């Protein structure tokens, strides 16, 4: 068998991620590879750091991109902040709160679960009850934008509650970063992680993270070594930290970082607030079209993510057949439901470069044709 070069189909990506990548970002990634300690590359790393501080709305010095997908950003936060024997309150209202629990337990800590129904926001009252019941807890973890349901929780209120009871916070912003208001410094978030492939519209493979000085101090004063060598921030920041000279830690994904840099430049050009407004505007247009087709939303309007629309599959419609036909006949990808929502909902993404009127019209017309 002779294998030739891979030529991927041209898809319209309107699932839960990855989102469409612009031609500008693809061209940036095709630029010549340089060494990961090359002075020119180090200068670009400083710019990536500054641009990430902008999109996170933070001055945190400990802000950079983990050289791996968003799940590694999650593990980076937990591995560095959680030690064996700790007690962590985890709020779960979908799949990714469950992954937080898994991380806590793999660190040898105890996860105290605060559970809300899938499709609902995290209930601050339930969190406060858990904080009162477990005064020895040191951390609160929750998902700002739950990718499995399209529900958005009130991060500012949840962080305020955690700090009221002397807990640090870990926040999942994989789907919210650059798509919906997120203000790390104003909301006083301690540790936060995201992914490159959602509203930033860069290819998958990098995880932006940011840590407050409170969190950095906890990491510096751990009783035990971080269980992961690769994700140990005491080592990684020798490579990302400071200006100019970097200590060798790992070979960074050079061209992938070119792509992230370009996508962040595009967010800066548009303006972060304008990006938030565009995602909301396009959500309203998609919602109107779906509701005219009799398709309703899982999440109540006040808790709904504009960039990830989880909608009920109409009665009598075969979930897998519709998604397969959309892909094969229209080159359009939408997402299936996860967990208990499998076969009941579709997840339609309007993220980053894919969040535009042309895609909305194409999605609605394709869905009408298949249904």
pLDDT at 348: 98
pLDDT at 239: 78
Per-residue pLDDT of the chain (371 residues; tens, 9 = 90+): 999 999 999 999 999 999 999 999 999 999 999 998 899 999 999 999 999 999 999 999 999 999 999 999 999 999 999 999 999 999 999 999 999 999 999 999 999 999 999 999 999 999 999 999 999 999 999 999 999 999 999 999 999 999 999 999 999 999 999 999 999 999 999 999 999 999 999 999 999 999 999 999 999 999 999 999 999 998 887 777 755 567 788 899 999 999 999 999 999 999 999 999 999 999 999 999 999 999 999 999 999 999 999 999 999 999 999 999 999 999 999 999 999 999 999 999 999 999 999 999 999 999 999 99
Please tell me the class of the 23-267 domain. alpha beta
Q: What distance in Å separates the CA atoms of residue 236 and residue 233, rounded to the nearest whole number?
A: 5
Q: Long-range contact list for 28-34, CB < 8 A, 24+ apart?
A: 28/258, 28/259, 28/261, 28/262, 29/203, 29/255, 29/256, 29/258, 29/259, 29/262, 30/255, 31/255, 31/258, 33/254, 33/255, 34/254
Token code pair at residue 260:
């992230």
Which residues, in sequence order, are bridge partners of residue 151? 146, 304
| Domain ranges for the chain | 12-18+272-370, 23-267
Token code pair at residue 300:
């109540």
The architecture CATH gives domain 12-18+272-370: Alpha-Beta Complex (3.90)
- Tell me if 12-18+272-370 shares its fold with 23-267: no
The Cβ of residue 172 has, within 10 Å, a number of other Cβ atoms equal to 28
pLDDT at 37: 87
Q: What distance in Å separates the CA atoms of residue 185 and residue 171, rounded to the nearest whole number?
A: 13
Q: For the chain, first and last CA: distance in Å? A: 40
């Amino acid at each position: 068998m002779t294998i030739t070069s891979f030529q991927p189909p041209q898809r319209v990506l309107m699932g839960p991620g990855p989102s469409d990548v612009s031609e500008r970002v693809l061209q940036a990634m095709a630029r010549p590879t340089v060494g990961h300690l090359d002075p020119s590359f180090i200068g670009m790393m400083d710019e990536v750091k500054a641009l990430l501080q902008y999109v996170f709305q933070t001055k945190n010095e400990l802000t950079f991109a983990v050289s791996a997908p968003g799940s590694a950003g999650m593990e980076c936060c937990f591995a560095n902040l959680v030690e064996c024997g700790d007690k962590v309150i985890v709020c779960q209202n979908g799949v990714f709160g469950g992954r937080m629990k898994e991380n806590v337990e793999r660190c040898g800590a105890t996860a105290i679960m605060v559970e809300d129904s899938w499709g609902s926001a995290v209930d601050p009252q339930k969190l406060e009850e858990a904080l009162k019941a477990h005064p020895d807890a040191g951390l609160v973890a929750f998902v700002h934008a739950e990718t499995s349901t399209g529900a958005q929780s009130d991060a500012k209120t949840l962080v305020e509650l955690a700090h009221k009871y002397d807990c640090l916070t870990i926040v999942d912003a994989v789907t919210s970063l650059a798509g919906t208001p997120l203000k790390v410094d104003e909301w006083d978030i301690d540790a936060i992680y995201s992914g490159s492939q959602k509203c930033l519209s860069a290819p998958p493979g990098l995880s932006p993270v940011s840590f407050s000085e409170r969190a950095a101090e906890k990491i510096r004063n751990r009783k035990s070594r971080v269980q992961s060598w690769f994700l140990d921030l005491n080592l990684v920041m020798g490579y990302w930290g400071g200006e100019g000279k970097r200590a060798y830690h790992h070979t960074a994904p050079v061209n992938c970082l070119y792509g992230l840099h370009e996508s962040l430049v595009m967010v800066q050009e548009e303006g972060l607030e304008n990006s938030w407004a565009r995602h909301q505007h396009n959500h309203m247009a998609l919602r109107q079209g779906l509701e005219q087709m009799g398709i309703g939303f899982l999440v109540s309007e006040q808790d709904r993510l504009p960039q990830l629309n989880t909608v009920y599959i109409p009665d009598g419609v075969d979930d897998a057949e519709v998604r397969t036909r959309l892909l094969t006949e229209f080159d359009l990808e939408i997402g299936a439901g996860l967990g208990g929502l499998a076969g009941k909902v579709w997840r339609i993404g309007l993220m980053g470069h894919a969040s535009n009127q042309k895609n909305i019209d194409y999605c609605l017309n394709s869905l009408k044709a298949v249904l």
